[in-house]
Amino acid sequence: MKQNAADAITRDGKVLILAYDHGLEHGPVDFEPNPATADPERIFDLATHDAVTALAVQKGLAEAYYPDYESDVTLLLKLNGTSNLWMGEPDSAVNCSVEYADEIGADAVGFTLYGGSNHEVEMAEEFRDAHEDARERDLGVVMWSYPRGQGVKDDTSSGTIAYAARQGLELGADVAKVKYPGSPEAMAEAVRMAGRTKVVMSGGSKTDDRQFLETVEAAVDAGAKGLAVGRNVFQRENPTEILDALERVIFEERSAEEALRLTREDAEASPE
Ligand code: FBP
């Protein structure tokens, strides 16, 4: 069962998760660069792009918008999440049950684990329940594996990210989403530690097209299966163009350079 549970959120074994839980996790500040993106419909529309294998949202957005997109978008329901207003040791409230995620049409569930936080034990126990409930329903399981808190000195060091990826494997995630550890070698080590769990890179804050695509290329070359990205897509002026380029890097295994060139040529050939 484990090897097939995540099929719904992959394409040719690769993954491109469009993440849109920022209104909860970071607040409206993340919509400022592109104010129209405060409207969830914009992002659900984007998620119909061929490159997107799943859209990750919280329960409220799924309830309100997913009924209009059921046939065009694969739903990855994020089960926990906390606002930036919370100032305590990293923790994440469980906002949705697996049963309810399944009821509203999720193909997979997502769960954040803050390894190293003083709340790690409770979070891992909550993950256990979520994981086993998801297995009963044959839903894929994606772990946002983000070591942070008192036990973590450097949350993107090679050792920390390899450990984060390994936590995904040990605890049963189909996909472990980790931050880029700064070099292809460190990413390759995370991939090695994750074994049969697919590693995807977290998009992070917005960077320029070339820098972003080159990092994605490096991660994919190092064995990552793709990307889970929010701001680096929806904060751009033309999010569809960057999805076109990501499709070329992740699914067609082209270089960042080539993907950029082809995407620019397409834009010139059919200007809006
Ligand atoms: P980004 O690509 O914008 O970083 O989005 C991915 C994501 O994991 C979101 O799902 C989540 O809201 C955010 O990053 C968490 O970011 P941070 O690690 O800064 O709290």
Inter-axis angle of helices 209-221 and 256-269, nearest 10: 130
Distance, in Å, from the CA atom of 10 to the CA atom of 197, rounded to the nearest integer, reads: 13
Terminal Cα distance for the chain, rounded: 45
Q: Domain with 196 in it: what CATH number? A: 3.20.20.70
pLDDT in tens, 168-188: 999 999 999 999 999 999 999
Q: Which residues are marked as active site? A: 146, 177
Cα torsion at 242, 246, 247, 248 (round to 10°)?
A: 110
Atom of ligand 1 nearest to the CA of 26: 12
- Average pLDDT over all residues of the chain: 96
Sorting pLDDT into bands at 50, 70 and 90, what band is 263? very high
pTM score, whole prediction: 0.96
Q: For residues 267 and 262, which has the higher predicted lDDT (pLDDT)?
A: 262
Q: Whose CA is nearest to atom 10 of ligand 1?
A: 19
Distance, in Å, from the CA atom of 56 to the CA atom of 234, rounded to the nearest integer, reads: 13
Give the mean pLDDT of 131-145: 98
**Best CA proximity match to 113, nearest among 102, 128, 132:** 128
How far does the centroid of ligand 1 lie from the alpha carbon of residue 92, in Å?
Answer: 13
Query: Is the distance from CB of 216 to CB of 249 less than 8 angstroms?
Result: yes
Asked whether residue 1 carries a pLDDT value surpassing 70, the answer given is no
Query: Is the distance from CB of 82 to CB of 91 less than 8 angstroms?
Result: yes
How far does the centroid of ligand 1 lie from the alpha carbon of residue 103, in Å?
Answer: 26
Residue 272 is predicted with a pLDDT of 65
Q: Whose CA is nearest to atom 4 of ligand 1?
A: 204
Structure tokens at 81: 């999440």
Atom of ligand 1 nearest to the CA of 144: 8
Give the mean pLDDT of 213-231: 98
CA angle centred on 141, ends 140 and 144, rounded to 5°: 145
Question: pLDDT above 90 covers what percent of the chain?
Answer: 95
Q: Whose CA is nearest to atom 9 of ligand 1?
A: 19
Sorting pLDDT into bands at 50, 70 and 90, what band is 271? confident
Residue 6 is predicted with a pLDDT of 86
Sorting pLDDT into bands at 50, 70 and 90, what band is 20? very high
Asked whether residue 152 carries a pLDDT value surpassing 70, the answer given is yes
Distance, in Å, from the CA atom of 204 to the CA atom of 193, rounded to the nearest integer, reads: 22
Residue 2 is predicted with a pLDDT of 42
Domain count, the chain: 1
What range defines the domain where residue 263 resides?
Answer: 5-269
CA 117 remoteness from chain centre = 21
Sorting pLDDT into bands at 50, 70 and 90, what band is 161? very high
